[in-house]
Structures are given as C-alpha cells and as structure tokens.
Amino acid sequence: MLDIKFVRENPDVVKENIKKKFQDAKLPLVDEVVALDAENRKTIQEAQDLRTARNAKSKQVGVLMGQSKKDPSKLAEAEALKAEVKADADRLAYLEGREAELAEQIRHIMLQIPNIIDPSVPIGPDDSCNVEVQRFGEPVTPDFEIPYHTQIMESFDGIDMDAAGRVSGSGFYYLMGDIARLHEAVLAYARDFMMDKGFTFCIPPFMIHGNVVEGVMSQTEMDAMMYKIEGEDLYLIGTSEHSMIGKFIDQIIPEDKLPQTLTSYSPCFRKEKGAHGIEERGVYRIHQFEKQEMVVVCKPEDSMHWYEQMWRYSVELFRSMDIPVRQLECCSGDLADLKVKSCDIEAWSPRQQKYFEVCSCSNLGDAQARRLKMRVKGEKGTYLPHTLNNTVVAPPRMLIAFLENNLQADGSVKIPAPLRPYMGGKEVLTPKA
C-alpha cells in the first residue's frame, strides 16, 4: 500500500505505474482517493477548529456564570454561549463520524492501488513477457524416456493419489516409503542450508487472522488462494511468509535488531482455482503441500542487496542437488500489487524439455509494513522497514525436478551427496516395480 501523501503529491506517477501494470480500470481510483483525501483533511481541520472554539467558549461560560452572581444580565449571555457549545458539539460529532467514514473509504481504495514497481522491471501484460536473465547448470536430455513424475513415484510405491481422492478429493496425495522420506530429507536439508547462511529457523502458526491476511497480500490473491475457517476469524496460510511477516504486526522494531533473517517451515493450503494442463496434474499444482521459506525484514537501503542474495541462495541450493535452473525476471503485469520487484527460479524438466517454476523471490518495499503498521525505531526517528520473501524449497513440486534430473536409465534415482545424511546414507533409490 502506498503512502496517501505520495499519491496526493504524485498522482501522475501513480497513474503511469498503473498503466505499466496494465490495470487501466484502476486509473479512476487515483482521482477518487485524492478527492476523498482532500475532503478528509478539510474535515479534520474543521473538527480541530471546533474543538479549540468549544474549549474557549466553555471557559467563557464558566466566567460568565461566575459574573452572573453580581450581574444577572451575564446569565443570558452564558446561556447563549451554552447553546453555541451544544451546536458545536453536535457538529463535531458529525465530523468525527465523517472522518471515520472517509478514512475507511480511503483505505479501501489505497488497498487496490498497486505498489510502485522498480525501474528495472520489464514491462509486459503477463508472464509471457517475463525475461530470462541467466542459466545455472547445463540442461541435460537423457537418451532414455523419462516417465511422468507420478509414474516415477509409483515405481517406488511412493504415492497413492487414488486413496487421497477418496479421502480428500482431487488435489491431494499420499506420499509413502522412500518418496516420503526423500520429501522430508529435502525439507530438512533446506532448513539446515538456510541456518548455515545465518537465518533463524521458525515454525509459525498455520492459521492467521483476517487483518494479517489483508496486511500481507492483495484482495485478488486472497480470494484466489485462501481457505477460511467457517465461523472463525482465521484463514489457513498459503505460505509461511504470511504468518512470518504477520509476526511484526503493530510492532516497533529496534533498528539494531535489523535485519531480521528468518527461515520457516509450514504446510501450505491453496485453492488453486481453474483447470491446468497434463504436466500440471499429479503433484505439480495441489491444495496442500509443505515448504521451507526465507523472509527478511530490513532497512530500506538494504532491500535490493537482500533481494539479490536471496534468489542466489535458491540457485545454490538447487545446483547442490544437480538440478539445472534459470533466473526469470517477472514483468510488470505478472507482479502482484504489493511487489516492487520479483523473479522466479525455474528448474529444468528433462521430460518436458523446458523450465518450470520452483521458487519465487520478491521485494515488497514498505507495502506490507505500512499495511501491518510495522515500524523501526532508529536514531533519527521511526520509519517503515522493507520486507522480502523467497521460496527455499517447496516439495512435492520440487521433487518433480529432483526425480527427473536424477533418474537413471534403469529406473533408479541417484541421491546427491548433500542429501545422503538425511536419507540414511543411501546413494541411490531402487524402484520396487
């Protein structure tokens, strides 16, 4: 969410940014919120003037009442002033009510106006205009056919989607045996990888209040993603970033406690509306999965440094498991409204002969901090921090890349050295069927 003062003083900049994000339907919101802001400031000033005048008149009534004991004519004057004070009080009550109405209208609109994107963001209407920046590792296409990922898992007796369908419906799964162990091994390795980078490991709440949801994401994202607990002001998290950033709601952080570098484990729950292609079936796009996340809260001047560092951690992690990846810069139309800049890390799929998303790194500037009323107390006063997030790993989608890139011609799967301690020392998984 932008600062209303910035919108008031730079309406053309805000409109141009909306155009760059191909959201022209939101252009009228800028003039609307500027007009509401002007009315609100006028209302606040009138209310303040009335309070000052009322206090002065009230004091004068007291003086006149004292004088009326000697001069009865002063009593009529006092009663007239009392009537004015009453009228002022009635007007003030109206103005205070109007202030609340205007503040709510302004906030509602401000939540819809997108954040100002970084000048380096490529301009385009959708993800087809995202730009490949660089590749890490050589994509390999083996000389044998790679089965669909659920077929690979089934060869290890490692997945049962039919049973999950009976129990929970589509978009769920049972992982078993070596595949389930591999799933947990990847998460444990990712946790330790980030702790070795100096991040603090956290397990956050998996449900959050509505005001936290509003603080960390846009209404569009919320409607598309979040599951609400019936009869409760609680939502299941779509990613641990939600509760990790929410941890700082209404808090003042001492400047010497920055940066806050946190890595968190959680299950994630998403609606995932819409139909998807064959390669997005199986465990690629599901309603429930687990994830290791990284979150940073830092000084504004440090956020681009952390953005660069965070996506590079993802590259390093995936390359340590022999998975080729590339960095893809997200274009303006593909950025969620709160984001200043974002990139995807995509893993190579030998089966599909293309890359697919496995991590998403985002710098949100001070948007989440302003919504959640997070502040930093420094030597020169208080200010809003910047927040960033990035996926460390999100199996089971990440398992697709792992299995395809480590599959051998005989159907076995090699285990890269960093994962072996988490797999009981195994160097290879042998299929059961």
Confidence label for 266 from pLDDT (cuts 50, 70 and 90): very high
- Please check whether residue 30 is in contact with residue 15, taking contact to mean a CB–CB distance below 8 angstroms: yes
The string of pLDDT tens digits covering residues 299-348 is 999 999 999 999 999 999 999 999 999 999 999 999 999 999 999 999 99
CA distance 267 to 288: 7
The residue extents of the domains of the chain are 4-110, 127-429
The side-by-side arrangement of strands in the sheet containing 227-228 is: 207-208, 235-236, 227-228
- Measured at the CA of 126, the angle between CA 120 and CA 131, to 5 degrees, comes to 45
| Average pLDDT rounded to a whole number, residues 4-8 | 97
Q: What is the pLDDT of residue 310?
A: 98
Confidence label for 70 from pLDDT (cuts 50, 70 and 90): low
pLDDT tops 90 at residue 96:
yes
Residue 53 tokens read as 């005048």
- Please check whether residue 264 is in contact with residue 202, taking contact to mean a CB–CB distance below 8 angstroms: yes
pLDDT tops 90 at residue 284:
no
- CB proximity list for 27: less than 8 A, separation 6 or greater: 15, 18, 19
**pTM of the predicted protein model:** 0.89
CA distance 268 to 73: 77
Q: What is the pLDDT of residue 36?
A: 97
DSSP code string of 183-204:
HHHHHHHHHHHHHHTTPEEE--
pLDDT tops 60 at residue 280:
no
Number of residues that make up the chain: 433
> What number of H helices and E strands is found in the chain?
13, 18
Q: Where do the H-state alpha helices sit in 10-72?
A: 11-20, 27-67
pLDDT tops 70 at residue 221:
yes
Percentage of the chain modeled with pLDDT above 90: 82
- Measured at the CA of 247, the angle between CA 244 and CA 252, to 5 degrees, comes to 130
CA distance 50 to 39: 16
Q: What is the pLDDT of residue 433?
A: 65
User: 261-275, 319-333, 404-418 — which is least confidently predicted?
Assistant: 261-275
Q: What is the pLDDT of residue 137?
A: 96
Q: What is the pLDDT of residue 278?
A: 41
User: 13-27, 68-82, 125-139, 221-235 — which is least confidently predicted?
Assistant: 68-82
Q: What is the pLDDT of residue 55?
A: 77
pLDDT tops 60 at residue 274:
no
Q: What is the pLDDT of residue 256?
A: 97
Choosing among 3.30.70.1560, 3.30.70.260, 3.30.930.10, 3.90.800.10, the CATH entry for 127-429 is: 3.30.930.10
Confidence label for 275 from pLDDT (cuts 50, 70 and 90): very low
Q: In this structure, which topology does domain 4-110 adopt according to CATH?
A: Helix Hairpins (1.10.287)
The string of pLDDT tens digits covering residues 236-253 is 999 999 999 999 999 999
| Average pLDDT rounded to a whole number, residues 276-280 | 46
Residue 113 tokens read as 């106006």
pLDDT tops 50 at residue 276:
no
Q: What is the separation of C-alpha 397 from the centre of its chain, rounded to a whole number of angstroms?
A: 20
pLDDT tops 70 at residue 277:
no
- CB proximity list for 132: less than 8 A, separation 6 or greater: 326, 327, 328, 329
Q: What is the pLDDT of residue 147?
A: 94
Query: Which of 279, 408, 280, 281 lies closest to 352 in space, CA to CA?
Result: 279
pLDDT tops 70 at residue 69:
no
Q: H/E element holding 210?
A: helix 210-216
The string of pLDDT tens digits covering residues 54-63 is 778 877 767 7
Percentage of the chain modeled with pLDDT above 70: 95
CA distance 325 to 311: 11
